[in-house]
Amino acid sequence: MRGPLGAVIGRYPSSDGSTQVGGIIRHNRKCRDVAFLVIFIAFWVAMVVNSSFGFNKGNPLRLTYGLDYKGNVCGDRHAHPGLRELELTYWLNPNQVYLSGLKNSQFKLANARTICLLDCPIPSEDALNWVCDYPEGEIRLSVDDWIDRNYDYFEFLTPEMRNTSLQLQGPCYPVIFPSVNVYWRCQYLARASNVSMRHWQQMGGVNINEGIILDKSIHRSINARSSVLKRYVADIEKSWPVLIVCGGLLPLFVSVIWLLLIRHFVAAMPWITVALFNILIIAVTMFYYLKAGWIGNDAISPIIGAHDPYYHVFGRELNHLRAAAVLMTFIMVVSILTSIAIVHRILMATSVLKVAAKVIGEVQALIIFPVMPYAILGIFYMFWFAAAFYLFSSGQIVQNNCNSNCCAYDLVSKRVNCDRCCGYSIHYTPHISIAIFFHLFGCYWATQFFIACSSTVIAGSVASYYWARGETSPEIPFLPVFSSMKQLIRYSLGSVALGSLVLSFVESVRFILESIRRKLKVANTTPESCMGRTAYHTSRFCFQCIEWIIRSVNRNAYIMIAITGKSFCRASAIATELIISNILRIGRVNVIGDVILYLGKLCVSLSSALFAFLMLDTHKYRSAHNKISSPLLPVLVCWALGYVVATLFFAVVEMSIDAIILSFCQDSEEHQGTAQYAPPLLMETLGDQNEMQRLTQ
Confidence check: pLDDT of 380 > 90? yes
Contacts of 208 (CB under 8 A, 6+ apart): 94, 95, 168, 174, 176, 192, 197, 200
pLDDT band at 535; cut points 50, 70, 90: low
For the entire predicted model, the pTM comes to 0.85
Confidence check: pLDDT of 505 > 60? yes
Confidence check: pLDDT of 197 > 80? yes
pLDDT number for residue 9:
42
**3-state class (DSSP) for residue 67:** strand
Among residues of the chain, what percentage have pLDDT more than 90? Answer: 25
Confidence check: pLDDT of 244 > 90? yes
Confidence check: pLDDT of 362 > 80? no
> What is the largest distance, in Å, between two alpha-carbon atoms of the chain?
115
Q: Which residues of 583-618 are buried (b: 16+ CB within 10 A; e: fewer)?
A: eebbeebbebbbbbbbbbbbbbbbbbbbbbbebbee
pLDDT band at 209; cut points 50, 70, 90: confident
CA 93 to CA 172: how far, in whole Å?
Answer: 10
pLDDT number for residue 584:
62
Highest-confidence segment of 370-384, 464-478, 482-496: 370-384
Tell me the average pLDDT across 461-465. Answer: 81
Confidence check: pLDDT of 11 > 50? no
pLDDT band at 462; cut points 50, 70, 90: confident
pLDDT number for residue 5:
45
Confidence check: pLDDT of 385 > 90? yes
pLDDT band at 6; cut points 50, 70, 90: very low
pLDDT in tens, 669-694: 777 666 677 666 666 665 543 444 44
Q: Cis before residue 430, ω within 30 degrees of 0?
A: no
pLDDT number for residue 322:
92
- Between these two residues, 270 and 603, which has the higher pLDDT value? 603
| 19 φ, ψ (degrees, to nearest 5) | -105, 125
- Between these two residues, 696 and 353, which has the higher pLDDT value? 353
Tell me the average pLDDT across 391-395. Answer: 89
Cα three-residue angle 262-263-269, rounded to 5 degrees? 20
CA 400 to CA 426: how far, in whole Å?
Answer: 10
pLDDT in tens, 109-135: 888 889 999 988 988 888 888 999 999
CA 455 to CA 555: how far, in whole Å?
Answer: 8
Looking at 194-203, 257-266, 404-413, 508-517, which range is the least confident one?
A: 508-517
Confidence check: pLDDT of 513 > 60? yes
Confidence check: pLDDT of 1 > 50? no
Cα three-residue angle 570-588-606, rounded to 5 degrees? 90
Q: What does the mean pLDDT of the chain come to?
A: 81
pLDDT number for residue 40:
93
**3-state class (DSSP) for residue 112:** coil
pLDDT in tens, 568-621: 888 888 888 877 777 666 655 566 677 788 888 999 999 999 999 999 988 888
pLDDT in tens, 57-107: 888 989 989 899 888 999 888 887 778 888 899 998 888 888 888 888 888
pLDDT in tens, 224-241: 888 899 999 999 999 999
Contacts of 645 (CB under 8 A, 6+ apart): 247, 248, 251, 252, 255, 374, 604
pLDDT number for residue 330:
93
Question: What does the chain come to in residues?
Answer: 697
Among residues of the chain, what percentage have pLDDT more than 70? Answer: 81
